Amino acid sequence: MDQPGEPDLVSPKPPEEPAKSTTRWGKAPPPPDEVRFLHGPQTRGFEVLRAVRIFLEILGGFRKLHFVGPCVTVFGSARFVEDQPYYQLAWEVGARLARAGFTVMTGGGPGIMEAANRGAKEAGGYSVGCNIELPKEQRPNRYLDRWVTFRHFYVRKLMLVKYSYAFIAMPGGFGTLDEIFETATLIQTGKIRQFPLVLMGREFWGPLLDFMHERLLAQRTIDPIDIERIQVTDSAEEAVASITDIAMHQFGLTYGPKLRRHWFLGE
C-alpha cells in the first residue's frame, strides 16, 4: 500500500454521460462441457482432464493476483447503470478505498463492479477484476488495471476472498447473495479471519436482516454474533473508515514494501 497522507475524501462528481445497458444476463444455456461436468459422474478421463483444467485455472489466478496488494472486495449487481444512486455510491466507495491505500477488487464486470473499479481508478488507486465467462459474454470493464477471466464461479469466488482484508456488499441479486453468505459462512466457521463484512444500503438490505433476526436467530440456526459481525451503513465514509481501522489495528496491516517479484518465475 502507498504511504498514506491526508486524503481528500470529496465525493466524486456525477458522471456526465450515463451509459445504457441492454445486456440480458444469464438467458442463454451454459456451455455443453459445463453442463456435462455438473451433471453427475462422467468418464474417468473426462473427470481427470476437468480436474487438471480447474487446477490450472486456480494456479493462473494465483500468479496473476499475487502482487496486487491488500484488497477490499466489492460485491454488487451488474445491472445498475451510471445514473442510479447505488452506482454513484459504489463509485464513491471505490474512490475512498483507493485513497485509504487499498486495492479495489470486484467481479470485473459492469454495474456496481464497474462503479467501484472506476472510483478506484479515477482516484489514482489500483483496480482489479475477477471476470467470469458467461454464455452471454461478460466483458471486463474499462477501469481495470489488471484482471483475470475464469470459467468456474467457485474459482472466481476463491480469488475474490483470498486477497481481501474486507468485503463490501452493494445491492445485488442471486450472485451477490451467494457471495455475501459464502463470505459470512467462511467467517462464521473460522475458515477465514473475522474480516469486516459491510452491507451498503440500509433500505435495500433491511428485509434480509429482518429475516435473519426473525427466522434464523429466532430458530437458533445462527448465533447473535453471526449477525453482529455484519456492518450495515449508507455512508461510504463510515464504511471505509471502519475497514481501515480494523485492518490496521486488528489485523496488523501496514504500509510496508510490496512483495518482490522474481524474474526466474516469470513474474
pLDDT of the residue at 244: 92
Confidence of residue 134 (pLDDT cuts 50, 70, 90): confident
Cβ within 8 Å of residue 245, ≥6 positions away: none
* Host H or E run for residue 104: strand 103-106
Q: 71 has which bridge partners?
A: 103, 164
- Average pLDDT of the residues in 69-97: 96
More confident residue, 207 or 5: 207
CA 103/CA 125 separation, integer angstroms: 7
Surface-to-core class of residue 141, CB atoms within 10 Å of its CB (0-12 exposed, 13-18 middle, 19+ buried)? buried
More confident residue, 152 or 201: 201
In order, the DSSP letters of 1-52 are: -PPP-----PPPPPPSSPPP----TT-SPPPHHHHHHTSS---HHHHHHHHH
Q: 129 has which bridge partners?
A: 106, 147
112, three cell numbers:
456496481
Model pLDDT for residues 18-54, shown as the tens digit of each residue: 444 444 444 455 566 667 777 778 888 888 998 999 9
- The letter for the amino acid at 209 is L
pLDDT of the residue at 249: 75
Beta strand 146-150 pairing with 71-75 = unpaired
CA 172/CA 177 separation, integer angstroms: 7
Instruction: Assess contact for 205 and 236: CB atoms under 8 A.
Output: no
Domains and CATH numbers, the chain: 53-265 (3.40.50.450)
